[in-house]
Amino acid sequence: MELLLDHRLKFGESIQAFADLLFVIDDYGSVLDCKFGDASIPFDSCEQLQHKKVRDVLPTDLGGKLDHFISEARKNGRSSSFEFPLNIGEHEFWFDGCFLPASDSNTILSARNITKYKKTEFRMQRQLKRLSALRSIDLAIASGLDLNLLLSILLDRIIETLRVDAATVLLLDHEMNLLNFASGKGFHTNILQHTSLKPGQGYAGRAVLERRMVSIPDLTKNATEFDRSPLFPRERFVVYYGVPLVAKGRVLGVLEIFHRSPLRADEDWLDFLNIISGQTAIAIDSAMMFKDLQKSNFELSLAYNATIDAWSRTLDLRDRETEGHTRRVTDLTIRFAAMNGVKDADLIHIRRGSTLHDIGKVAIPDHILFKPGPLTHEEWETMRQHPKYAVDLLSPIKYLEPAMEIPHWHHERWDGTGYPDRLGNAEIPYSARIFALADVYDALTSNRPYRNAWSKKDAIQYIENQSGKHFDPRLVPDFLNLVNANGY
Ligand code: C2E
Ligand code: SIN
Ligand code: SIN
Ligand code: FE
Ligand code: FE
């Protein structure tokens, strides 16, 4: 006691006047005395700290530096300052402290209570983290991800930012009127993966029916909705939240939050739970819309293809000789195009164009189209109009725009002597150059009203001979390899 009085005299009121916390530490690092200058700090606990080693009182990550700080203080009259938390009574306080040399063997730790600033700092850090979570959810929404992947990303961010152990999303199947498990994170078991609830049933069902958050702060007290699930206790969950996911006024499902220890849900936390639920609902809504859109696009595309096939069959019905020609030419063209690295997205247009290539012949009178012999000059004039007729017929149809190259230019020739536009070389669209090879090969090897089918050998020889005249010479060898290897 003598010694302590000595300190107080030595450092006087001045230190106490601005320090909220004072420790007097002896040579061995034991706390000899402590004093709280801040009346808001529960002073009682000071006794509990006395005689403890200061390294046990302060957080462990400071432990290693204490010797350094103390020797620094003894050398310079003051150590650098450092922040540390201290649990006093029920509460956590934060201090900003430094060591000061006292007598020969003793050192004083003088600290200011910075709890208020620290809390603000933590709060800002949390807000920042939450904002960045919302931002990443926005990005996930905008990127048009598949729903399952989206939910998986969302749940990761929700668990991370709300600092909870597990979360699920249940989606409402509006047709069956059932709430089904869609995605979950943080579970030890798969107990909830088979969850399927009617609105009103279970906590999640209640959240949907009543359109409000359901919270169970202690699942271990009293009976709960989860008692029906015998494996549920294995998860050791204590806290439950179920938040309805509402977008555009429609309930899409429920976000469920689980935590394995009690949760102090302050206003901030609850606000954020609501914000992130709203964001999750928007994400689900847009992912579902995207899926529906893709589905209807797919269905539309099937409808288009059926229409195109129907048109091309009307042509076949009229011109029995060419029956099968369209299908064979289309198959051969697609095969050759794919072999040449044409992408799937372009192949669909090539398929449509190929199917419709001679649709313009519907405008050619029977006496020309079915003439058993060679055509007169005038007849040829008419016949050479069939690509133009195709353009007239099909150009009002927007979705066929990218498919028009073949109907329009399948009779152009590499040397520029073809029709209707006398295009030459690379002026002729690639798809039309590919198609011309398949078309002529199949025409030659088929019967026509004006002649019988040629042999395969003659057809191949003809194409070889027309390389650089009718056909793109760079395509001819590969095309003939394909035809030879596949028995066309
Ligand atoms: P298509 O019968 O489908 O023939 C398509 C293309 O294959 C022809 O385009 C031509 O490049 C080639 N091709 C077909 N058969 C022969 C042939 O016997 N010899 C040669 N060297 N090439 C042949 P092209 O010539 O522009 O003819 C377009 C369409 O005009 C033909 O379609 C066919 O419907 C019609 N056509 C052509 N020549 C005659 C003909 O002599 N009599 C009649 N009635 N129609 C003809
Ligand atoms: C839930 O509310 O998520 C499930 C409750 C139950 O299993 O009945
Ligand atoms: C057309 O001009 O007929 C269609 C446009 C195109 O094929 O590029
Ligand atoms: Fe043609
Ligand atoms: Fe043809």
pLDDT value of residue 18: 63
Ligand nearest, relative to CA of residue 394:
3
Report residues whose beta carbon is within 6 angstroms of any ligand 3 atom.
391, 395, 404-405, 408
- CA of 120 relative to ligand 2 center, distance in Å: 37
CB 409 within 8 A of CB 428: yes
Of 355, 346, 444, give the one whose Cα is nearest residue 402. 346
- CA of 348 relative to ligand 1 center, distance in Å: 26
Task: Kindly state the tokens that stand for 463.
Answer: 């194409």
For residue 256, the ligand 2 atom closest to its alpha carbon is 3
Q: In what order do the strands lie in the sheet with 250-259?
A: 196-197, 178-185, 166-173, 250-259, 239-247, 214-216
- CA of 470 relative to ligand 3 center, distance in Å: 21
For residue 394, the ligand 3 atom closest to its alpha carbon is 3
In eight-state DSSP terms, residue 34 is: E
Ligand nearest, relative to CA of residue 443:
1
CA geometry: angle 125, 129, 132, nearest 5 deg: 140
For residue 383, the ligand 1 atom closest to its alpha carbon is 30
The residue count of the chain comes to 488
CB 51 within 8 A of CB 30: yes
How many beta carbons lie within 10 A of that of residue 140, not counting itself? 21
Identity of the residue numbered 46: C
Which residues face 108 on adjacent strands? 24, 100
Task: Kindly state the tokens that stand for 112.
Answer: 């200011």
Contacts of 158 by beta carbon, 8 Å cutoff, 6+ apart? 133, 164, 167, 255, 257, 276, 280
Distance, CA of 30 to CA of 27 (rounded, Å): 7
Task: Kindly state the tokens that stand for 337.
Answer: 């195009």
Q: Which helix (H) or strand (E) holds 82?
A: strand 82-88
pLDDT value of residue 322: 67
pLDDT value of residue 1: 45
Distance, CA of 394 to CA of 358 (rounded, Å): 12
Positions in the chain short of pLDDT 50:
1-2, 5, 8-9, 12-13, 16
pLDDT value of residue 74: 87
Test site for ligand 3: of 385, 408, 433, most ligand atoms within 8 A of the Cβ: 408
pLDDT, tens digit, 9 for 90 and up, residues 7-50: 544 554 455 456 888 889 998 889 888 888 777 777 666 777 78
Distance, CA of 248 to CA of 346 (rounded, Å): 37
Ligand nearest, relative to CA of residue 390:
3
For residue 203, the ligand 2 atom closest to its alpha carbon is 2
Report residues whose beta carbon is within 6 angstroms of any ligand 1 atom.
371, 374-375, 383, 411, 439-440, 443-444, 448-451
Test site for ligand 1: of 450, 454, 463, 464, most ligand atoms within 8 A of the Cβ: 450
Distance, CA of 274 to CA of 252 (rounded, Å): 15
Of 34, 36, 14, 17, give the one whose Cα is nearest residue 25. 34
Distance, CA of 126 to CA of 331 (rounded, Å): 61
Ligand nearest, relative to CA of residue 382:
1
Distance, CA of 150 to CA of 253 (rounded, Å): 15
Q: Whose CA is nearest to atom 5 of ligand 3?
A: 404
- CA of 434 relative to ligand 5 center, distance in Å: 13
Distance, CA of 427 to CA of 408 (rounded, Å): 13
Domains and CATH numbers, the chain: 2-113 (3.30.450.20), 124-292 (3.30.450.40), 319-486 (1.10.3210.10)
